[in-house]
Structure 1
Amino acid sequence: MEKNTIQIPAFTLNQKILIAILALLQFTVILDFMVISPLGDILMKTLDMTTANFGFAVSAYAFSAGASGLLAAGFADKFDRKKLLIFFYTGFIIGTFFCALSNSYETLLMARIVTGLFGGVIGSVSLAIVTDLFMIQQRGRVMGFIQMAYASSQILGIPVGLYFANHWGWHSSFIMIAVLGIFILIAIITQMQPVNKHLELQSDKNAFLHLWDTLSNKNYQIGFMAIAFLSVGGFMLQPFGTAFLVNNIHISHLELPMVFFFTGLSVLFIMPIIGKLSDKVSKFKLFTAGSLLSIIMVIVYTNLGPIPLWQVVVLTMIMFMGIMSRMVPATTLNTAIPDMKDRGAYMAITASLQQIAGGIAAVAAGFIVHQETKTSPLENYDILGYVIAVVTFFSVFLIWRVDKLAKSKDKTIVVPTTIE
């Protein structure tokens, strides 16, 4: 069948404002999850946690996020997506404040669970909004900008969070995120238009029946599995990253912000390029190239011994350029899988399974990695690298199947509803 093509329009002013809001929102959500890893060495020593305890503290967010996402999935297409975003982001801010008030491993664990219950749904709602309001030929650029939140959290958020932690205690890092979140919440309420076009396609189907129908769709299951595996490597590698840098490579706590700053800078540089390429070349080939680079660099990185700071920075920059080069094409391809009437549920389930898979990965990493004392070098970190490499290789096959599904659905280019 011959494709009916149309000219891809430029972003409107309202679309640009929406992209900025979603990027800032993702910045705080990603930072809230990521900042606990750089604080890992401080938290393990301050709250007297073992590597296994810390693995559970990281995975607590992931498991609760996964559970809430599954519970919300059946209702995700029943409401205005803006209202859903406001509800869950408000809960996320409250949960982050609870993290700041924690004074023991147990209270931190509970606070992470509360934060995950709300934070885990935000990403899927944001993706559903992007899928509703931007055509697939625009989504690579949109996702490139939104995924830059990851780099921005590395460049600005994590170094600032570590600075706060080093000068005013680790609690202040979470206070900083919560206060920033309040300003972003105000922007969502005042600047974002309702996103409710999908409501016209809804039937009277029970929410749980809608969830079951989405879960049982064979094509959707391929997307669920593919995106779930994407998170495994990051959840395994990052939680013990700072402990590895401090205790194995002998980087000081005062030097850590520099590592994260330059790593984020490299990702900030590569993401717009990957976003544009994702709209022009094969998304699967782009994903495969990023996967091969990340496999090589993860194996090199996890086998490092004491080396100069500049070498750590260079290797980490290259590694994360490979890792993040996978995210935009994979996420963009995944948005092409669901029908509009199922997008909210599909994105919620995808995010949930991704979080659950990541939570299992973090727990597994906590048992693979071992530390004799609070200042001893981490053991078995190289084994962790080999496990991540195998999982990354398998994810290439899964994304290949997603790519085939996306191409089969892209017979005719359809213009989505635009923002007035």
Structure 2
Amino acid sequence: MSPTLVSAAPMSTELSPRAERFFLLTLAGIQFSHVLDFMIMMPLGPILMAALGIGTHEFGLLVASYSFSAAVSGVLAATFVDLFERKRLLLVSFVLFALATLACGLAPSYPVLMLARGLAGVFGGIMGALIHTMLGDAIPFSRRARASGIVSSAFSVSTIAGVPLSLWLANHLGWRAPFIFIAVLSVIFLAVGLRFLPELRHHLSEEKRAHLLSATFSVLGDANHLRALLFSALIIFSGFTVIPYITVYAVNNVGIAQQDIPLVYLVGGFATFISARLIGRWADKHGKVEVYRLVAGLAMVPLLVLTHVGAVPLWVWVMCTTSFFVLISGRMIPAMAIIASAAQPKLRGTFLSLNGTVQSLAMGLATTLAGYLTSLDAGGRIVGYPQVGYVAVAANLVAIWFVARIVMHGRQG
């Protein structure tokens, strides 16, 4: 049974094809900046631990500070995000994010770096929610999955170019260089955003809120919103039980050399860069729910293989990880179109801010649970990873079943 479609509120701004293209590429550039800022921390681990004299526990807190701060900012942003014009709020958040990232590069000590990472997470979380909000506001339902695929390609570009370049800078100029590079890059995309992003204010209403949390209560009081948030949590949970431990499993269990790990991400990044746009087009043409279910169903095969495979040659592992990256990330393209379309248009910003919080919390819970299910044996090999795969498959199956219960606000064709 397909979800019901109801008419959306009319948009105040109809973008020309050229303006829409620049709009999407600009959002993808902004997305690239804060995605790279999040991704670079994990491969920088050995360099940071040596430079700051910290252990694995302290480094884990450094990584987690970003996600937990993003979760908190999602709750806070939900109280005000729909009170402001979208472009202005996004660019102000982007400026503050760039300053926080620059502070990471200039941090004189571990505590200061921890604080700066938390601030980067706060503003990065707001930006992530706003980007998907602006997609929902400006792009018609019939093209929304394709648009989501274009913006999602920022993840692939980060994997292909951003992470290797940042690691090269860190190896030659020190661990501070990648953060300064991202801050400079953010200034460039900020200038592009000033030029090409349209003002979006049709969500603004003359009606005054009863109190600061009224929009949040309105979102949480809508059963369809709650179903969409649960669906979002299931998707993130099913991926992040497995993702954080892929590299350790590859080196310790599969026998992949540490110097070959960049190749794994390079190939996977190229593949997802191509597949993201194809999946977006298919979802708009053949139905977002139908394509989501197909891609999510196929994703269970590499998910199980990845968590069960033993020692294999590099090319076999690259095939496993590439199919995993393509299908696990590919689910998110129709899924985010579905989730964004589940919101009442006037509450979309508040809803997607709360969605960012839900996703960050699901990410943290999944990582924590996987940590309890796995351990290292005397030889340094991970044990318990197959159980993690079963948990991920179970969450994925629930999401596939549950998606039909979400009502989307939009129009076909």
TM-score (norm 1): 0.87
Cα separation, 1, equivalents of 2:298 and 2:77: 36
Query: Could you say if the C-alpha distance between residues 58 and 16 of structure 1 is closer, same or farther in structure 2, counting changes exceeding 3 Å?
Result: same
Match of 1:114 in 2: 119
Q: 1:398 to 1:100 in 2, by over 3 A?
A: farther
CA distance in 2, matches of 1:343, 1:233: 25
Task: Tell me whether 1:49 sits opposite 2:76 in the alignment.
Answer: no
Q: 1:112 to 1:248 in 2, by over 3 A?
A: farther
Shift of 1:327: 0.7
Opposite residue 379 of structure 1, the aligned amino acid is V
Q: Match of 1:21?
A: 26
**1:139 pairs with 2:149:** no
Change (3 A) 1:3 1:180: closer
Contact 1:58 1:362 in 2 (8 A): no
Give 1:6-405 correspondences, 5 Å limit.
11-40=16-45, 43=48, 47-50=53-56, 53-102=58-107, 106-200=111-205, 202-371=207-376, 376-402=380-406, 405=407
In the TM superposition, residue 369 of structure 1 has moved relative to its aligned partner by 3.5
CA distance in 2, matches of 1:179, 1:236: 33
Q: CA deviation at 1:280?
A: 0.9
- CA offsets 1:205-224 (integer angstroms, 9 cap, x no match): 42211211212211111111
Give the AA of the match of 2:391.
V
- Structure 2 counterpart of 1:49, one-letter code: G
Q: Residue 10 of structure 2 aligns with which residue? A: none
| Equivalent residue letter for 1:320 | F
Structure 1 pair 229–104 and aligned structure 2 pair: CA distance change class (3 A)? farther
Does the CA-based 8 Å contact 1:41-1:242 persist in structure 2? no
Cα offset for 1:175?
2.5
Q: 1:212 to 1:138 in 2, by over 3 A?
A: same
Q: CA contact under 8 A between 1:41 and 1:243: conserved in structure 2?
A: no
Q: Is the 8 A contact 2:31 2:151 kept in 1?
A: yes
Residues 190-244 of structure 1: CA deviation (Å, up to 9, x unaligned): 3322211211465444221121121221111111111122222333333333333
Superposition deviation, residue 323 in structure 1:
0.6
Is the alpha carbon distance of 1:116 and 1:286 closer, same or farther for their aligned partners in structure 2, counting shifts above 3 Å? same
Q: Which residue of 2 aligns with 1:418?
A: none
Change (3 A) 1:279 1:266: same
Normalising by the residue count of structure 2, what TM-score does the alignment of the two structures yield? Answer: 0.89
Contact residue 31 and residue 157 of structure 1 kept, 8 A: yes
Give the Cα–Cα distance (whole angstroms) in 1 for the partners of residues 108 and 380 of structure 2.
25
Q: Deviations over 1:307-328 (max 9, x none)?
A: 2222221111111111122111
Q: CA deviation at 1:133?
A: 1.1
Quick one: percent identity of the two aligned structures?
30
> Secondary structure of 1:194's partner?
coil
RMSD of aligned Cα (Å): 2.7
Once the two structures are overlaid, the 10-residue window that deviates more, 282-291 or 314-323, is 282-291
Distance 2:281 2:377 in 1: 47
Give 5+ residue unaligned stretches, structure 2: 8-13
Name stretches of at least 5 consecutive residues in structure 1 with no aligned partner. Answer: 415-420
User: 8 Å contact 1:55–1:239 — kept in the other structure?
Assistant: no
Matched residue type, 2:385: Y
Q: Are the aligned partners of 1:278 and 1:329 in contact in 2 as well (CA < 8 Å)? A: yes
Deviations 1:269-299 (A, max 9, x none): 1111101101111222211222222222122
Matches of 2:105 and 2:346 in 1, distance apart? 39
Q: How far has the Cα of 1:79 moved from its partner?
A: 0.4
1:7-41, CA deviations, whole angstroms, 9 ceiling, x for partnerless residues?
A: xx995222211111101111112222222233345
